[in-house]
Structures are given as C-alpha cells and as structure tokens.
Chains A and B, each alone.
Chain A
Amino acid sequence: MTETREFEAKAKKVFSAERKEDIWVLILAAITVVLGLTGIITPKTFTSLFF
C-alpha cells in the first residue's frame, strides 16, 4: 500500500509539474507570437543572430 500511495503521490506530482510546465510553454509561445505580430521580431531578426 505504501508503494501504491507513493506512486499516487508521484503521479500527482508529475502531472502537476507537467501542467505548470505547459503553462510556461504557453506563455513563452504567446510572447513570441505577440512580438512577431507587433513587428518587434521580423524575418531579419533570426538571420541577424548568425554570421
């Protein structure tokens, strides 16, 4: 039973962490889209990063 409880706790922890991770991922993607739509980043931004 202890093992089962440990797994239940672990599963909850993992999914809670993944949920948090997904929220950060969504925020990061949203920032990129906003920067792109507002013209702050352009196709030249990427090429300017490299030699």
Chain B
Amino acid sequence: MRDKNDGILHYVPGFVLCIVLGWMALQWDQSIHKWQKNFQESEKILKASQGDGGVFPSYTQYREEKEKKYQEELSAFERGDMKEKPKKPYLLLEKDYAFIAATKEIPFKFRFGERMIQFQLTYVAVLLLGGMLIRNVIGLPKIFQPGAVIARPVIKPGIILLGGYYLWSNLLKVGIFALLLVLVFILGTTILVSVLGKRLKQDDGLMGVMAAGTGICGVSAAVAVAPVVNAKPRDFFYAVGTILLFGTVALFTFPYIGKALGMTEPVFGAWVGTAILNTAQLVAAATWYGHDSLLTANIINIVRVGFIPFVVIFCIWFYVIKQATSGDEKGKIHTWQVIKEKFPLFILGFFTMVTLNEFGVFTEDHRTIFGKQFLQIFFAIGFAGVGLNIAFEDLKKAGIVLWEMGVAVVGGCCGTTPDHIRALAQAIGGRPVAPRRAPAVTARKSAPGAAAGPRAGNPVRELMKSDRFLVSVEIRADRRSALEGIIAGASSIAAAGADLFDVPDNPAATVGRDAMVVAARLQSALGRPAFPHKSVVQANLLQLHSSLIGCWDLGLRAVLAVTGDPPSLGHLAGMARLVTDIKSSVELLRLIRELRNGRMINGEEIGDPPDLCAGCAVGQPTPQQLSWLKKKVEAGAEFAFSQPIFDVDTFLRLKDGTDGLGLRVFPGLMPLTSRRGAESLASGRVPGVRVPEQVVEQFRRYDAPADQRKLGLDLARDLAARMIEDGASGIYLIMPFGRGCYEETASLVSHIRKVASSKTASPR
C-alpha cells in the first residue's frame, strides 16, 4: 500500500526509467530498421553489379540513376500509367556504397539489422524482454516500482492517436468484422465459461470472475463482475492468476507462431485481437508483428473493450436475476447505470480521432506523426512498464496454484498491477497449497476421515425409511412467546400423534427464537425427533459450519436445508444484510453431506462428523421445481417438505413428479384461517404458494371470522384425508393459527392420524 505522504514525486523515478528505456529501445529500433533497409539496398546493388559483369558504377552515377528512375515513375504516375505514387529513392551513404564496391560484401551491421528484423527483435521485444530481464535478473529497486506501474496506461494515448489512421467507412467495414468476432469468440467465451461452470458445479463467484476476465479484458472486467457474483478473494486471485499467466505466455509466443504459420499482418491482428484479450499485451504482440497487424487488432480491441458493461450486465442477469427468487433481487439490474459506470472513456478519444480524420483535418504528415511516430513513443513508454512488471516469482506462484486447482479456461489481462500480483502471491503464498480445494460445495466421490456416508442409528433417517405414515408439525419459535409455553403447546400436538417437529429459521425474515435451540428443547421435552430449518441467506459459512456441527452436538439428527427469506422482506430490512456465501439450498445440502463425510467446505477434516439426515423444500410441482428437486436429491436430500398445497390435483401432480426419486415427500398442509388470508395467498404474493380460486370462493360465502376459521379447518381435514387416500406417505403440517392455537393443530393431527390408521387397517 502506498504511504499517505507519497505525492506525485513517488512516481517520477520509475516513470523516467520507462522513458529512458523507451528511448533506448526506439533508438535500437530505428537503427535496425535503417540497417535492414541498407541490407535490402545493398542486395539490389550487388545483384545489379553481377548483371554488369561485376562492375560498380560510381556513387554519383548510382545516385543519378536512382533519381532518373524515380522521375520516370513519377511522370508515369502523373500520366495515370501507375496506380501508386512512387516513393522517393532510398540511397546508401557514399561510404557504405564504397565499402560494398570494394569488398563486394554487405557490411556486417546491415546483415545484423536484417537478422534482428527476421527474429522480430524490434523495440517491442527489446522492451518486454529487457524489462522482464531487469525485473528478474537485476531486480527493480522499490523506488522505480510505482512509476513503472503508471507507465503502462501510456499505451492508451497511442491507441487514441491511431484513430487518425482510420476513416469511418473502413472502420465500419472492419468494425462489423470485429463485432462478429467479438460476438462469436468473446461473448461466446463468457457464456461458455458461465454455462460450463454451472454444469461442472463450480462456484458462481469463481466462474463469474473467470467468465468476465477471459471473455473481455482481464482484471478490469473481473473487478467489475466480482461483487456482482459475490466472488471471494480467492476466486478473484485464481482468475487474475490464470489471466496473468496466459497473457504473458501469449505475448511472447504468438508473434513467433504467427510467423511460423505464415500469417499475414491483418490475419495475425485479427487473431491476437480476439485471443489475447488484453489491451497492453495485445497491442504489444500486434505491434511486434507489424503496423497493419496493429491496425486490425486495435479495432477488435476497441470493440471488445466497449463490451465490458454488457458482460457485466450479462453476469448480473446470469448469476443474480436468473437465480433470484424475490422481486427485490429481480429489480437489481440498472442497465444504463452499469453502462455509464463501466464504459471505458478513452475509446471516445479514438472515435474523435476517426471523426477528425473523416473531416479531412489530418494531412499525411499528421497521420505519420500521430499514427506512427508518437504512437511509438507512447507505446515504448508503456511497453517498458509492461516488461518491468513481469516477475517470474509471481508467475511461478500463480502457476503452481492454477496447476493445483486445474485450469480449464484461459484468457488475457489488462490492468494487472504488481498490487494484484502481490495480492495473488499473498493469497496463495506463505502456506502449503491445498490439493484441489474447491471454493464451492461440490460433489465428491470419496471422502477421507473417520466416517463416510449416512450411518445407521439416526432415528429420523430410520423413520423416513420406515413404512409408518409420518406427521411432521412445524412449530413457530415466535419471539413474543415464552419457550416454555411453546413446549407446553407442542406437547398436546405430540400427544395427538405427531411424529416429528420442525422449527423454521426466522421465517419471513422476522426474528424468532433460535430454531436449533427450540428444536433441541422440543426433542428433549417431548421425546420426539425435532429438527431445525437452516436458511442459507441469513448465515455466513462460518456460522453454517458451526450450526450444523452444533445441531449434532445438541442431539438433533436432521436439518431441513432451505434458501430462506431474504432479510429485505422482513422487519429488519435495510439493517440485516443478505448473506450469499452459499447461494442455494443445493449447496447447503452438499455441505451437510461433506460434514457427514468428515470434511468442511475447504476439505479440512472434522472430528465426530455430524450424521444429519438432510431434508429440503419443494415448491409447486412445476417442471422447473421438480428438476430442482432432483438436484437436491443428487446433493443428498433424504426427505422433502412441499410448500402448502390447497387442492388434490396439485398433490397428485407432486406425487407423480416425485415418485421414483427415492425420498419421502411430505405434502404441505396449511389450514387457511380467514377469507383475507386466502385472498392474499391466491394473489401469489408469497412465492411458491398459490390458493386456487375455488377455495377462495368458498371463503367468500362466510362473513363471520369464526365461520371462516372453521371452514379452513374443515377444508384442511378433507384435503388431508384425500391426500392420504391418494397415497401420501406423510404430511407436513404448518401451524396457521397464530400463537397459542395448539389445540386446533392437535385436533387436526389427531384427525390425520385417525385417517392414516384406518387406511392402514383397511387397505384398498
């Protein structure tokens, strides 16, 4: 971190160093290009002399001959016989000409220049390789480091000035091609990484950052997307590490691969424009290859960088909106705001230059000054910064971690600073790298540790596997009621025949008594298994781990994994925050399974693994919900509680959809207590709960609250009987009556038990 007292002087030494290195590299570049030209001219002279029997004309004759030829070509051009204006003749210096005439050999420095160009050791290579060598062999003193970092963006004015080379007509022509490439390759990468991540059950945080980073522009896009997808620091550094490694390797290998494959400059430009994905490295690789390559790569880069806000919007949609269950989250996207905040402003400078060129503001000289000469100056300073910031040690550390985690996707980078690299090194260094530690709770085939898989002796699991018709009653641990009163009320329900009790975890995001504590007290007092619901949006990973282990320690043997209600719905909205360490009940189910197998989310082992029987919730029996339930079963769910059901058809659809999944499904039964309540639930206000209109109609026939309450209870009794008749293996009874209505619940349990017993006694 920078010291508070550091001013602009802090940057001066490093920046000056980059200017000096840039100048030296450009001097080198000028020299080898001049020598190469001299080499080509020398070859022509030697060839001409061989044709003349080894005779060399005098230097004056040589010069006059060249001038005469130029004048002839110029006249031909003026007559219209030649399409292109001839270039002024290139002449060797007299002393060089004399040397060739005397020795009949090309001077060494000309051959050297030709060879250097052949090896592409231009100013780009010298700065990148030289900077890298300085950094890694001699070492870059701390005094130069801050300035070397801020030298990198000096590449951008060069990109803007390059705009003076384009006209809108050819920009649009190449731009459409670039746009197609961007859409196909870049957005394709983003979508592919996101979808593959989901398929491979990778963590949203890691894959979101990787999708943005590999799809668009490394660190900038990764930073933009990280908060959207709730990436953890480790996810972020994995992504940056991948980007960093690939970008560096591509920078040094692509130009040689391009040459080996005989790519033309525009083709190479198109390739690096889509493949390298990073402004600094892309510009360096393209410039290394040639000016035409840079012209093509630059347009593709401009189009791609302009896509950053759209990739952020895609990630918001893919990772947040699509998974959102509440209207609150669905309203999270602010397209214009995202575009305004994330759009890279320097692109506007590039388009201004194109417009000025279109209006004829620039002459040929201006284009040379801006698009070739000053472009080189800006690039040289920037490339010096790029080279000086490549540290082998950091790359090595990044490589080790990426190798350990198994890199599947690669991309380029921009904006990667030593701070990022240092942070990466800190994040991964200083401690042994865990073998393939998955940030998400993912499926594992085998497990180390003392225990593995569900074990015998869990009373809840044994009940679930038994043939007994089960009644589980949800007891609300209301904060306004004394716990002793709740236990006393529940005891009448137990006496009526309830098999299990479950306690919701702050339902409707309102504060209740701790579900785990209440469940433990109920179980202890009533002698019936009780278990808490566990919500993922109200507890972070530390709390989830300790709560699940705590359940086991308290003697609880089951837990119902639910996503839970977001705090924004409850009475502490704005104060309590949504927690998304684990984003869904499926991940929580996997965590429960991991704990059962003796491991935490990060692979660390625990003693006395909690062998909790895991339950889950299922919504209305729609294809999406049923498919989601299958995922829960795959993640380890052993039983399921459905949302309240209000008609037999819905129950039958639920039964049809869940038969064969291998878990016991409890249809939810929640007696309605009033017309108002029925109308409210019929409106769809509560997600996943829908009261049919015909039920509401029945309530409308009664005005007296007592009559409505009685109707609700009667309807629930009838529905329970029908569901038992139609093959329900249990019922999940949700207490609807508010505080202190235990007697009505007990009477309903008693009725259910009676119907279930009579069915068992006289099977059809």
Binding site for B on A (CB under 8 A): 1, 3-4, 6-8, 10-11, 14-15, 18-19, 21-26, 28-30, 32-33, 36-37, 41-43, 45-47, 49-51
Contacts and interface: CB of A to CB of B under 8 A. Distances in A.
28 contacts: A1-B579, A7-B230, A7-B233, A7-B236, A11-B224, A11-B226, A14-B219, A14-B220, A15-B342, A21-B153, A25-B154, A26-B160, A26-B348, A28-B157, A28-B378, A29-B157, A29-B161, A29-B349, A29-B353, A33-B164, A41-B369, A43-B365, A43-B369, A45-B369, A46-B369, A46-B376, A47-B30, A51-B27
A33 B23 contact: no
Given A7-B226, A42-B369, A46-B373, A22 B345 contact: yes
A4 B154 CA distance: 32
Interface in B216-272: 219-220, 223-224, 226-227, 230-233, 236
A32 B374 contact: yes
A30 B356 CA distance: 12
Contacts of B365: 42-43
A27 B190 CA distance: 33
B366 A36 contact: yes
B52 interface: no
For the complex of A and B, 3 pairs with smallest distance between CB atoms = A46-B373, A22-B345, A29-B160
Interface string B355-396: 010000100011011100110111000000000000000000
Contact of A19 (B154, B345, B361, B377): B345
B149 to A, nearest CB: 11
A10 B236 CA distance: 12
A36 B227 contact: no
Interface string B144-169: 00000000011011001100100000
A19 B343 CA distance: 9
A32 B161 contact: yes
A3 B148 CA distance: 30
B90 interface: no
Contact of B353 (A18, A33, A43): A33
Contacts of A46: 369, 373-374, 376-377
Contacts of A32: 157, 161, 370, 374
Contact of B223 (A4, A10, A29): A10
A33 to B, nearest CB: 7
Contact of A23 (B345, B353, B373, B580): B345
A22 to B, nearest CB: 4
A interface, over-half SS = helix
Given A4-B230, A14-B220, A25 B580 contact: no
A50 to B, nearest CB: 5
Contacts of A37: 361, 366
Interface of B: 23, 26-27, 30-31, 153-154, 156-157, 160-161, 164, 219-220, 223-224, 226-227, 230-233, 236, 341-342, 344-346, 348-349, 353, 356, 361, 365-366, 368-370, 373-374, 376-378, 415, 540, 577-580
Contacts of B27: 50-51
Contacts of A30: 349
Given A1-B577, A32-B370, A15 B223 contact: yes
A44 to B, nearest CB: 10
A42 to B, nearest CB: 7
A45 B376 CA distance: 13
Nearest to B226: A7
B195 to A, nearest CB: 23
A42 B364 CA distance: 11
A19 B232 CA distance: 25
Given A43-B365, A43-B373, A50-B30, A8 B227 contact: yes
Contact of A18 (B30, B161, B344): B344
Contacts of B349: 25-26, 29-30
Contacts of A26: 160, 345-346, 348-349
Contacts of B344: 18, 22
B366 A4 contact: no
A25 to B, nearest CB: 4
Contacts of B232: 3
A45 B370 CA distance: 12
A23 B346 CA distance: 7
Contacts of B227: 4, 7-8, 11
Contact of B153 (A1, A14, A25, A51): A25
Given A4-B230, A41-B369, A43-B365, A25 B220 contact: no
Nearest to B342: A15
B179 to A, nearest CB: 22
Contact of B341 (A6, A15, A33): A15
